[in-house]
Amino acid sequence: MEDQVVLIVGGSGGIGQACADLFAKAGAKVVLAARNKSKAEEKAKEINDRGGEAYVIEVDVTDLASVSSMAREVEEDLGQIDVLVNAFGLGLIQPLLDVKPDHAKEVFDVNVYGTFLVTQAVVRYMATNKKGRVIMFPGILGKAVMKNTSVYSASKYAITGFTKALVEEQRRGEVKFSLLYLGGVDTEFWDNPNIDMRVKKDKMLSTQEVAKAVYYAASQPGQSVLNEIVIQPESHQMV
């Protein structure tokens, strides 16, 4: 990964920051894009103080101008984007009849429309460059549903369908896509008041484990591609 440009959208969150650490250690130029710029800046400083190379850019994934500016600035300042890690998302786990319409709209705006905007903006450059890898996080709820996840699962299934269609669409552009179906991960995701679910975070996947999977997907040699992978905590194992 030496000198490759890795754009991590969701760089203020646990998974994004763990990915940033791992890619930076491998010699990549890491860009932490986030709405919460202060948290991303703290992580970038840590990486740079250790001798790595990390940058921060503010972005609102639901705003076309903001997303377009992000992709353009990274390409102009650092060069071709080699890897896009879409590590952002908004949770909502509640019974359908309890879900407030405004909250549902926000989930679809961030998870679906945001993923569309970011992916379109970056893949536009990757297709021109005829290289690039995109890592998506539909999560396990983008593959198998559970009770009280109608809205959230719908947003995650959208990411799965979106990505699988892009695989067919971008074959000639030589852009490669990987889907990571992750079970519960110990992050701030569970601190959201709209997550009506009791969990044991100590039994979940760590962000470091997830980062290793992301790195593995992003560093496949030559023409190989990791299409999709399921990783779950032992207590959640699904076969």
Q: Between 166 and 190, whose confidence is greater?
A: 166
Predicted local distance difference test score (pLDDT) of residue 201: 74
Range scoring the smallest mean pLDDT among 131-145, 158-172, 173-187: 173-187
Structure tokens at 25: 């250690």
Q: What is the average per-residue pLDDT within 184-212?
A: 79
Confidence check: pLDDT of 239 > 60: no
Q: Work out the pLDDT band at 80, boundaries 50, 70, 90.
A: very high
Residue 184's nearest CA partner among 109, 235, 120 is: 235
Measured in residues, the chain has a length of: 239
Return d(Cα 236, Cα 239) in angstroms, integer. 10
Predicted local distance difference test score (pLDDT) of residue 228: 93
Range scoring the smallest mean pLDDT among 23-32, 208-217, 219-228: 219-228
Predicted local distance difference test score (pLDDT) of residue 237: 58
Percent of the chain with pLDDT over 70: 97
Q: Work out the pLDDT band at 189, boundaries 50, 70, 90.
A: confident
Predicted local distance difference test score (pLDDT) of residue 235: 67
The pTM assigned to this predicted structure is 0.92
Q: Average pLDDT over the chain, rounded to whole?
A: 91
Q: Kindly report the backbone phi and psi dihedral angles of residue 188, in degrees, each rounded to the nearest multiple of 5, phi listed first.
A: -75, -5
Confidence check: pLDDT of 26 > 60: yes
Confidence check: pLDDT of 90 > 80: yes
Range scoring the smallest mean pLDDT among 107-111, 170-174, 197-201: 197-201
Percent of the chain with pLDDT over 90: 74
The most confident of the ranges 8-12, 25-29, 146-150 is 25-29
Cα separations (Å) of 238 from 5, 142, 209, 233?
Answer: 35, 14, 18, 10
Q: Between 49 and 236, whose confidence is greater?
A: 49
The alpha helices in the chain, defined as continuous H runs, are 14-25, 37-49, 64-78, 101-108, 115-129, 150-169, 207-218
Residue 215's nearest CA partner among 13, 6, 46 is: 6
Task: Domains for the chain: give ranges and CATH numbers.
Answer: 5-236 (3.40.50.720)
Beta bridge partners of 228: 179
Q: Work out the pLDDT band at 122, boundaries 50, 70, 90.
A: very high
Q: Work out the pLDDT band at 238, boundaries 50, 70, 90.
A: low
